[in-house]
Amino acid sequence: DAGITQSPRHKVTETGTPVTLRCHQTENHRYMYWYRQDPGHGLRLIHYSYGVKDTDKGEVSDGYSVSRSKTEDFLLTLESATSSQTSVYFCAISESGGRASTYNSPLHFGNGTRLTVT
Amino acid sequence: GNSVTQMEGPVTLSEEAFLTINCTYTATGYPSLFWYVQYPGEGLQLLLKATKADDKGSNKGFEATYRKETTSFHLEKGSVQVSDSAVYFCALMDNFNKFYFGSGTKLNVKP
């Protein structure tokens, strides 16, 4: 398994509270991603990062922010959680970068964080 | 924009039956295509991939061929086992390293 650790694994929080999810990798991969998984929607990209301090929005970025101050850590923050953000959140990493051997590198996923907003 | 469409499930088969899960895509440029598998309570695991037209990806008896003319990447296995029961996701990666996933197809294999 790729060295990806998500924390916490489970969290229950109340509407309106801030929440931060952490993804930690030991692979030194350049790309990191946050997805959410919901029934009937598959996986949808929230934000991704292509390097330290370099991030971009995905298809469902509203209500979420991210930060990447170190290669190994990618944080996802819900500034004010809402019930619609109840979901399973997956972090993923990819080696893709400048070296030809890393082109078309697949994603490797963490085991997910189950977030419930009450 | 880029998107992936895969057949809805669940798909229920008896052990040793032939499996096909359909996947079609819409993309600009030259995407790479992937199949991932997810077991209960776990993250997605790469099953196989193909990076250019006519490539065939294969792993653990599963295979899929990148068909540019039909924009398809159907997953097949000749003889499924109970242990293959899982959710299968088709995905594409665009030229900017962004991945797009289908909605997933749940496979149930009965003994």
Nearest CA-CA distance, residue A80 and chain B, Å = 26
Q: Which residues of A touch B103 (CB under 8 A)?
A: 40-42
Q: Is A61 on the interface with B (CB under 8 A)?
A: no
The two structure tokens encoding residue B53: 């037209």
Inter-chain residue contact A106 with B49, CB threshold 8 Å: yes
Side-by-side strand order, sheet with B56-59: B19-21, B75-77, B62-65, B56-59
Q: b/e per residue, A65-89, with b = 16+ CB within 10 A? A: ebebeeebebbbebeebeeebbbbb
Q: Can you tell me the mean pLDDT for A85-112?
A: 80
Dihedral, CA of residue B22, residue B92, residue A82 and residue A8, to nearest 10: 100
Q: What is the pLDDT of residue A96?
A: 64
Number of other CB atoms surrounding residue A64 within 10 Å: 19
Cβ pairs A/B, distance under 8 A: 53
Q: Does A109 touch chain B (CB under 8 A)?
A: yes
Is A90 in CB contact (< 8 Å) with chain B? yes
The model's confidence at residue A71, banded by pLDDT at 50, 70 and 90, is: very high
Chain B residues whose CB is inside 8 A of the A113 CB are none
Q: Is the pLDDT of residue A100 over 50?
A: no
Residue of A107, A103, A85 whose CA lies nearest to A33: A107
Is the distance from CB of B101 to CB of A38 less than 8 angstroms? no
Instruction: Work out the average pLDDT over B41-45.
Output: 88
What average pLDDT does the segment A80-98 reach? 89
Cross-chain residue pair A106–B43, CB shorter than 8 Å:
no
Q: Within a 10 A sphere around the Cβ of A31, how many other Cβ atoms? A: 22
Please tell me the predicted confidence (pLDDT) of residue A1: 54
Is the pLDDT score of A85 beyond 80? yes
Query: Closest approach of chain B CAs to the CA of A91, in angstroms?
Result: 9
A30 token code pair = 């350049």
Predicted confidence (pLDDT) at residue A110 exceeds the cutoff of 80: yes
Q: Coil, helix or strand for B61?
A: coil
Q: What is the DSSP letter of A71?
A: T
Mean of pLDDT over chain A? 90
